[in-house]
Chain A
Amino acid sequence: MNPELLNEIASLKEKNVIALKELKEAGGHVVGSYCLYSPCEVVTAAGAFPVTLCGTSQNPIPAAEKVLPRNLCPLIKSSYGFAVTDTCPYFHFSDILIAETTCDGKKKMYELLGEIKPLHLMQLPQLQDSDSARRYWYQEIVRLKEHLEEVFDVSITDAKLIEAIRLANRERRSMKELQDICKIKPSPISGTDLLTVLHNRGFSVDKEYAIDLVDRLTADLRAAAERGESPFPTSTPRILLTGVPVGIGSDKVVRIIEECGGNIVCFESCGAYKRVDPVAEEGDPLQAIADRYLSIPCSCMSPNNGRFELVARLAREFQADGVVDLTWMACHTYNIESYRLRRHLQEESRLPFLQLETDYSESDTEQLKIRIEAFLEIVVAGMKQQGKAPSA
């Protein structure tokens, strides 16, 4: 990968903090959110800047555990810990927060978070294909719009919403093209590098700049692939990672899989492929936003058949040789759903499947390694049988 582009991407986080500071000093408004269900279009249409808040590091967890129970998902503890220790600059600069009633852990944590900073909680229904849920969620999008209009004393017009949808869709198109580059075999970028790009990009304030940067990177990687360049030999097992959100700081499983000889070619997770579907640009913009966001296949939905279909489709499209389902410790929804996902994939493709349950700490690295190495042994044996890898 082009080292200049890589440096540019690595410096994104830092640049964004400076940009945010300047923006605030110039009287701009910042809205922080944690989850993919937060509709950034409504924020943009209100003339404010949507930012993703920190929650992928082990560092603030001990501070969070002074208040939150220890046996809680590390993502929730980390998010809260960053807030109470004021160590996330994006949180620091946020005027208000948007959050949703997704899982039990998050919604109860948000009650506490609301004591630190004004928080608008959206009531997310947990059923996707019913008119009542659709109407309910639409009302919640309207309530968010009205709330932002009141807080920032602005009027959110349809024209502004459509403009915001178009911008967000261009961002999604750019992100999808980058991730789709990994469909090339072997992939011209490692999963570790791809995750770094996706993670750092997520904090961008200047969306146009981030779109351009990702597009340049995609073009660069496509050219590299055409020259036959890849960090991996063709026989490298291609792994699809599904499950809980991962980011820099909570990427140990990504690193271990690639250190043990696999290549993560697709992330079916919130910061990655769950994010790429566009919002319809026709019709009532608020309804289009509501429909797009409600269809996100998160394990907090019941049932969540969309995820099973998405994982199976992505496994085919990215020519995955194995699927790893990552569960954060105490994330009941993803943990329980893993059983049905495994069964669905076995009926669909018989792809080797591994569920891993862990947290952000490094204490179980060796235990994870043995599981991942043994899984890759099974994957490679399967590839040899199909003639996809050279015999030993």
Chain B
Amino acid sequence: MQKVSVGIDVGSTATKAVMFDGEKVEAVELLTGWNPREAGEKAFADLLQRGAISSAQLTSVIGTGYGRVSLPFIDRRITEIACHARGAFHLFPNTRLVIDVGGQDSKVIALNGDGSVSDFVMNDKCAAGTGRFLQVMTGVLDITLCDLGKLAADSQPASISSMCTVFAESEIVGLMARGAGKGAIAAGIVQSIAKRVAGLAHRLYAGGEVTFTGGIARTPEICHAIARELGVELNVPERPQLVGALGAAIIGFEEGSDRCDNQRERIL
């Protein structure tokens, strides 16, 4: 019987569950909503159902993400820093730096040659340079993240100098009042977040391949803008939002811990 491990990444915006059997990967994702625990349980149950996984096959369940503390059915929790590093290293083994832009924080992680974490930096106590920044800005423009990329693609960026989410929002309202085009504002927002993230990355970057993870990496224009600011091409996984959960599943698979408590039986 094939042994499998599961990684569950309960993020501030989305919850991702990934199963790993040494080769194949199965995944589900859903919005976290207001209850991280329920989101984690549902993602786990859906994944088991989709992968037709029996409890006997399951060697380990590892939780990560900000909601990692609210999952009663996991064996162990690991920070998303170690998980993103491990997931990115699995997908791109030459990765030396991981940039992860999450819902409420962004991280830059430096890797040793074996995929372990050597150092990391995160944005300070504010939403600048995070997914939340983009969420607020797209809200002001009344567009989706996908539209933001498309609009930004063909426009000269308007200058948005404020890094603070609240002040940048006022700045955009001001730009709109002065009649700046939506495209220019969208391009300005993309450039603003790229500068912020690249600035963070420069603190740790010492050469080698850079992998960009987290849901924001699905917007090609943001990937291009960060690559331009950083002066290096980025590895972008096919499903960048799953890298943290994948890393958790891989770490669990390698450790092969074999504990299963009553809380899990309830879901199985």
Contact residues in B for A363 (Cβ distance below 8 Å):
125
Q: Given A358-B125, A366-B66 in contact, is the A373-B79 Cβ separation under 8 Å?
A: yes
Max count, chain A CB within 10 A of own CB: residue among B78, B119, B257: B119
Q: Given A358-B125, A392-B255 in contact, is the A377-B119 Cβ separation under 8 Å?
A: no
Contact residues in B for A357 (Cβ distance below 8 Å):
124-125
Q: Does A329 contact B (CB under 8 A)?
A: yes
Q: Mark B193-225, 1 if CB is under 8 A from A, else 0.
A: 000000000000000000000000000000000
- Rounded to whole Å, the gap between the CB of B110 and the closest CB of chain A is 10
Q: Mark B93-123, 1 if CB is under 8 A from A, else 0.
A: 0000000000001000000000011111010
B117 touches A367 (CB 8 A): no
A377 touches B117 (CB 8 A): yes
Q: Does A316 contact B (CB under 8 A)?
A: no
A378 touches B122 (CB 8 A): no
CA distance A378 to B66 in the complex (A): 19
Chain A interface, DSSP helix/strand/loop, else mixed: helix
Contact residues in A for B105 (Cβ distance below 8 Å):
367, 370
Q: Does A371 contact B (CB under 8 A)?
A: yes
Q: Does B41 contact A (CB under 8 A)?
A: no
Shortest Cβ distance from A346 into B: residue: B119
The answer, among B122, B125, B257, for a CB contact under 8 Å with A329, is: B125
A370 touches B125 (CB 8 A): no
Q: Mark B165-183, 1 if CB is under 8 A from A, else 0.
A: 0000000000000000000
- Rounded to whole Å, the gap between the CB of A353 and the closest CB of chain B is 8
A377 touches B81 (CB 8 A): yes
B79 touches A370 (CB 8 A): yes
Q: Does B128 contact A (CB under 8 A)?
A: no
B81 touches A374 (CB 8 A): yes
Q: Does A96 contact B (CB under 8 A)?
A: no
Contact residues in B for A280 (Cβ distance below 8 Å):
none
A381 touches B116 (CB 8 A): yes
CA distance A363 to B78 in the complex (A): 22
CA distance A367 to B82 in the complex (A): 15
Max count, chain A CB within 10 A of own CB: residue among B116, B117, B122, B125: B125
Report A's interface with B, CB cutoff 8 A. Answer: 329, 352, 357-358, 363-364, 366-367, 370-371, 373-374, 377-378, 381, 392
